[in-house]
Amino acid sequence: MATLTQPTVERTNYLNADYSLKSWLLTTDHKRIAILYLLSITFMFFIGGAAATLIRLELLTPAGDNKMFSIHGIVMIFFFLIPSIPATLGNFLVPMMIGAKDLAFPKINLASWYMYITGAIIMLYVILTGGVDTGWTFYVPFSSTYSNT
């Protein structure tokens, strides 16, 4: 005796709509943009953590400079802490909490992620070309008297 089975139809959602890189980089879905933020913020967290490890290693030498301290502070504050909750949770949860289908301006939302990535790339370039030694706050006297770069 043969049994008839219904073919399973997979519902399309934000994860399986399309798997191409182009579909992720040009998306206007707030949930996908939140995932892009989550991945890039997590990457910046690991960069900041590596800088924190290098701060500890730098303390082994008697004449330490302020560059790793600056890099760690800049990355962790401006590229992890400040954007983490509003960008990730705000993009993902707030539209669903208020019952909206998407954000009001989805292309501006995607443009904000591109601006975040542009700033992160510039910061990584600064790290690779020598860094800054002003301290993460850029306050005087670190940013004027003790700065060599």
Q: Give a three-class secondary structure readout of the chain.
A: CCCCCCCCCCCCCCCCCCCCHHHHHCCCCHHHHHHHHHHHHHHHHHHHHHHHHHHHHHCCCCCCCCHHHHHHHHHHHHHHHHHHHHHHHHHHHHHHHHCCCCCCCHHHHHHHHHHHHHHHHHHHHHHHCCCCCCCCCCCCCCCCCCCCC
Residue range 41-53, pLDDT digits in tens: 999 999 999 999 9
pLDDT at 60 > cutoff 90: no
Question: What's the pLDDT tens digit per position in 1-23?
Answer: 566 676 676 677 777 777 788 88
- pLDDT of amino acid 127: 85
The predicted pLDDT at position 141 comes to: 67
Q: What is the pLDDT of residues 91-114, one digit of tens each?
A: 889 888 888 888 888 899 999 999
The predicted model gives 58-85 an average pLDDT of 84
Q: What local confidence, expressed as pLDDT, does residue 148 receive?
A: 63
